[in-house]
Structure 1
Amino acid sequence: MTDLLQQDATAQAEAIATGKVSPSELLEAAVARADALNPSLNFIAQDLRDMARARAHLPFSGPFAGVPFLVKDLHMPIAGQRSGEGSRLFDGHVATENAVLYDRYCAAGLNTFGKTTTPEFGLTVTTESKAYGLTRNPWNPAHSSGGSSGGAAVAVSAGVVAMAHASDGGGSIRCPASACGLFGLKPSRGRMPAGPHATEGWMGFSLNHAVTRSVRDSAALLDATHGMEPGSRYTAPPPGAGFLAATRSAPGRLRIALQREAITGVPVHPDVLAALDAAARLLESLGHTVEEAAPALPAEAMGEAFVAIIAAHVAHDVRTRLAELGRDSAGEDIELVTQMFAHIGNTTPASAIAGANQLFQQVAITVSQFMSGHDILLSPVFAQPPIELGRIDLSPSDIESWTGNVLGYSPFTALANQTGCPAMSLPLGTSRTGLPIGIMAMGRYGEEALLFSLAAQIEQAAPWAGRRPPLP
C-alpha cells in the first residue's frame, strides 16, 4: 500500500479498477499517512475523513474513480462543511452549497478526505497563518513549502495523495510546486470554473487546478474539470483532442525565450540561475531553439496595478464577511498584511481600478506580440531557493521589509496571471543544500496542450518520479 501511495493518481485509479485495492483501503492508507505526517508538517486545515469513508462504499465513476484527494481551504465550499479561507475571520463559516469545481472533482471519481492549509485569503507565496500555523517543507521543515497552495503541495510531495487541488492568483500553484519538487500548471484565463457565486477570481487573475507528481495526472484532471460554467463572461479556446492526448505527441521544434533576469531587476540566486541554464541545455538537447529574450514591460506600474486590484477584492471580501457577522471591524481577526490590503482597497478610487485593468490589457497585448516570435517563455519560478519560514508571513514586524522580501523572492510568476497565459512549474533543479528549484514555462493564451506536450517530453528525458523528500 505504501508503494501504491507513491504512484500517481492514474496508476492508483488503475489499481482500483482492476481490483488490486478497494477505494476504502486506499483511502485508509492515505488517511494513516496524513495522520503520521501532519503533526510535523501541518498541511491539513480540515479533516473530512468521515465524509470520505461514507463515500468510499458508494459506486465511483470517472477517470479517477475512488482515488483519495484533498482540496484547498480557499474558495472551495463543500455543503455542510467549514470554509475557513485561511482566516480567523471565517471561524464558524459553514458552506451551504458545493463549489462547481468540487462537483466536477466528484464526477471525476475523486474522494476528498480533507482541506489543505493556505495563508489568509491566499495573499502570500508561503503557507503560514495565524489561523493554521506554519506549513513546513518536507524537504527541510525549517523552510517554506511555498504558497498559497502550500498544504496541497506538502501532501503530494510527502506521499499522502498523488495530486491535490490548488489555485493560483499570482503564482500559488507554481510556487508551492517549485518549493516541494512537483509539477504544477496554471491554466489559461477562462479555462476553469470559479462558482457557485462567481465565474472568475481577482478579475481573472486567479485560476483553479492542481499540483501533481506526474504530467499525465495534471492533463487528465484538466480534461475532466475544465469548461464554462453558467454565467461565464468568456471561456478559453477548446483544447482540440484533449490535454491528455497532448502528452502523447511530440511538441515539435519550439522557439524558446530564456528570461534570466526579473523584470523588477531583483537579483536571482546563483543556484536558481544554474538550474535555469541546465534546463535550457536540456531543451536544446531535445532539439528546441533557445535564445535569451524577454518582453519589455513597465514593472513598477504593473506592481502598483496588481496590488490595487487584489486590494479591492480583499476589501470586498472582508466587508462582506463583516456584514454576515454583523460587525463593523475585523480587528485582529485578520493579519497585518491583510489589513494593509483592505485599507488600500477601501481607499483606492474606482478610476484607479479601471486604469489597472486597462494596463493589464496593454501588457497582455505586448506579451502576445512577443510570443508571436516565441512558443515558450522560460524563467525561474522563484528568484531564490525555498526560503526559511517566518520571512514573508502575513503578520510581519515591518510591512516595508515584507514587501521587499516578497518582491525579491517571487518576481516571475505573476505575469502569467496578469496576461491570462498558461504557465507550469517543472521540478528540474536542486539547490546546493538539497532544496527543490522549479523552472517555469509560460505559453501563449489557450495553449495548455503545447505545455503538456513539452512537459511530457521533459519528464521522459529527465524523470523526477523517483525523487522523494527525506521522510519515513
Structure 2
Amino acid sequence: MADERVHAFGDDALGEHDAVALAALVKAREVSPAELAAAAEARAEQVDAALAPLAFAARGGPRTAPAGDGGALYGVPSYLKDNVDLRGMPTTHGSSAFRAKPARRTAGFAEQFLGTGLAVLGKTRLPEFGLNASTEFAEARPVRNPWRTSHSPGASSGGSAALVAAGVVPIAHANDGGGSIRIPAACCGLVGLKPTRGRLVPNDQGRRLPIDLVTDGVLTRSVRDTAAFFAAAERHHRNPALPPLGLVEGPGDRPVRIGLVVDSPLAVSDEPTRRAVERTAERLEAMGHEVVPATLPFGEEFSRDFTMYWGYIAFLIATSGKLLLDPGFQAGKLDGLTTGLRRSFHREFHRTPGVLRRLRRAEAAYAGLFRDHDVILSPVLAHTPPPIGHLSPNVAFDELLERLRRYVAFTPVNNVTGGPGIALPGAAAGDGLPVGVHLSAAHGRERVLLELAFALEADRPWQRIQDAATGA
C-alpha cells in the first residue's frame, strides 16, 4: 500500500482536545458523551482501511461504569486492548487458534478502567498473545503506524497506539509484559507509563505467572492525561503497599540526579535514537538536573533468561489453551513466533529453576541503580520503528528472535523487576518517524517520572501528527 501519514483530526466534537479537556467539556455540559462517542466511531471508521487498529466495536453502544459512578474522565471515549475481559465481549488475544466467546465476567482491571469514567467503544488489536514487538499476524493484515503506514506501530498495544496517535480517541488501554505500553508509545509519538507492579489492580494473566511481568496502563497524547488516569484509577483502588500517587499536575520543584544510558549491553543504539536521548539529557541539564553516565547491570545472561521465560509463557499458552481459553483451542494454528518460543523453551526446560532464581534476583540489582540516581534516562528501543514485515511472525524463528533481541534491548528490565518506566516522545528521526526516550525510577516513584515528563513537555511540546507534512 502507499506510504502515507494518516490521521482523523477534524472539526467535530472531539476536535484536538485531550481527555482532560473533553471531560471538562462534558462536565460543563458543552458536549455530551454520546456526541463524543459518535465522533470517535466516525474517526475510527475513517482510519480503519489504512491502519486496521480495531478488533471489534462494542455492540449496543459504549460500555460505561454503572450510572452514578462518575469518574474524573467521565464521558471520554476510549478502547480496551483485546486481552482483557469485559463481560459480553469476546477476548481473542490476537490469535486465530480459538474462537472466543463473549466473556462472562469483567476483569478487575477493566472495572478499574471503567471506574475512571472512560466509555469503552470496543477493543483494539494486538499480536498473538502480545508476544511480538510489532502488531503483525501470520495471515491477517497488520496494524500500521499513522506516522508512516509502511512501518510498525510497535506492540503489543499497537492497535491502541494507532488509534490514539491518529486522533480517534485521546486515551486508550495498553498493557506491558516486556515493553508493550512503552514500545508503541515510542513508535507512535505518545506518552506511555508502565507503573510499578501492583500500582493498579493485578492483571488476570500476569498474576498466574511465577514472576508477574504484566502491568496495565494507558497510551495518551499528553502527560496530563496519563497523570489524570492514574489519579482516577487510584481513587477506585489503591495498593497500601505503595506510596500514594495522587494527581500530578506539573513539573517538580527540585533537581534530580539522572543516570544516562545510551547503549544497551545487548545492542548499540542507532543514530536517531542516540541523538534523541542525548538531546533529552541536554534539555534536562538546562533545567537544572544533574546528568551523569550510568551502566545497566543487565547483560547477555539477563537477556537469555528473559527469552527463556518468554518461551515459558508461550509453552503455557500452547499446553493449557484448551483449559483456560476454549475447548476448541488448536495449538497447530499458533503463529511462528509463539510456536518457536514454545519449542525453544521445551528444549531447555531443565534450566527453569535457575532462570527463575536469577530473574527474581534482578530486582535487587535494579534497586541498586537508584542508590546513586533518582532516575535512569535511556532509549525505549535500540532503533527506530521497523518497516512492516521486519518482525512478521512469518520470518524464520531464529532470525526473528535475534531481530527482537536487538530491538527490544531496554524495556524488559522494568517488567522483570517491577519498576516503573515511562516512554516519552523524543526528537523525530529524519524520515519523520517518532523516536521515544525512556525514564525509569525506583519502585513506587511514578511521581518523579511524571514531573520530569511534564517539564519536558512544557519545554518543547510534542510534535503533532496533524501539523506534520503529508506523505513520507
Q: TM over 0.5, yes or no? A: yes
- CA-CA distance at 1:466 after TM superposition: 4.1
Equivalences for 1:68-217 in 2 at 5 Å? 68-74=77-83, 76-130=84-138, 132-195=140-203, 199=207, 203-217=211-225
- CA-CA distance at 1:365 after TM superposition: 1.2
Determine which of 401, 419, 422 is the counterpart of 2:420: 422
Name the aligned partner's letter for residue 322 of structure 1.
K
Note closer, same or farther for the CA distance 1:57–1:170 as it changes in structure 2 (3 Å cut).
closer
Aligned to 1:290: 291
Task: State the distance in 2 between where 1:27 and 1:107 align.
Answer: 17
Note closer, same or farther for the CA distance 1:106–1:296 as it changes in structure 2 (3 Å cut).
closer
Name the aligned partner's letter for residue 368 of structure 2.
Q
1:255 maps onto 2:263 in alignment? no
Note closer, same or farther for the CA distance 1:57–1:312 as it changes in structure 2 (3 Å cut).
closer
Task: State the distance in 1 between where 2:183 and 2:406 align.
Answer: 14
- Whether contact under 8 Å (2:64, 2:118) holds in the other structure is no
Kindly provide the CA deviation profile for residues 408-462 of structure 1, in whole angstroms up to 9, marking residues without a partner as x: 2221111111221100111122101111000001111111111111111111111
Name the aligned partner's letter for residue 352 of structure 2.
I
Q: Where do 5+ consecutive residues of structure 2 fail to align? A: 1-10
1:387 maps onto 2:412 in alignment? no
Instruction: Name the TM-score, length of structure 2 as normaliser.
Output: 0.91
Note closer, same or farther for the CA distance 1:434–1:168 as it changes in structure 2 (3 Å cut).
same
Note closer, same or farther for the CA distance 1:442–1:119 as it changes in structure 2 (3 Å cut).
same
- Whether contact under 8 Å (1:23, 1:56) holds in the other structure is no
Name the aligned partner's letter for residue 35 of structure 2.
E
- CA-CA distance at 1:9 after TM superposition: 0.5
- CA-CA distance at 1:202 after TM superposition: 7.0
Task: State the distance in 1 between where 2:39 and 2:65 align.
Answer: 13
Determine which of 19, 22, 29 is the counterpart of 1:12: 22
Aligned to 2:377: 378
RMSD: 2.5
Note closer, same or farther for the CA distance 1:96–1:130 as it changes in structure 2 (3 Å cut).
farther
Note closer, same or farther for the CA distance 1:151–1:423 as it changes in structure 2 (3 Å cut).
same
Question: Would you say how many aligned residue pairs link Structure 1 and Structure 2?
Answer: 459
Task: State the distance in 2 between where 1:22 and 1:213 align.
Answer: 22
Note closer, same or farther for the CA distance 1:203–1:51 as it changes in structure 2 (3 Å cut).
farther
Task: State the distance in 2 between where 1:18 and 1:382 align.
Answer: 41
Task: State the distance in 2 between where 1:132 and 1:70 align.
Answer: 21
Task: State the distance in 2 between where 1:228 and 1:32 align.
Answer: 31
Kindly provide the CA deviation profile for residues 116-168 of structure 1, in whole angstroms up to 9, marking residues without a partner as x: 11000111111112364210100000000011101111100000000100011
Aligned to 1:238: 242
Note closer, same or farther for the CA distance 1:34–1:154 as it changes in structure 2 (3 Å cut).
same
Task: State the distance in 2 between where 1:94 and 1:293 align.
Answer: 48
Task: State the distance in 2 between where 1:278 and 1:182 align.
Answer: 18
- Whether contact under 8 Å (1:71, 1:112) holds in the other structure is yes
- Whether contact under 8 Å (1:214, 1:465) holds in the other structure is no
Task: State the distance in 2 between where 1:345 and 1:69 align.
Answer: 37
Task: Between 58-67 and 189-198, report the one with greater CA deviation.
Answer: 189-198
Equivalences for 1:25-64 in 2 at 5 Å? 25-48=35-58, 50-52=60-62, 61-64=70-73
Note closer, same or farther for the CA distance 1:290–1:68 as it changes in structure 2 (3 Å cut).
same
Task: State the distance in 2 between where 1:288 and 1:201 align.
Answer: 39
Kindly provide the CA deviation profile for residues 309-336 of structure 1, in whole angstroms up to 9, marking residues without a partner as x: 22222222222222464468511x2101
1:275 maps onto 2:293 in alignment? no
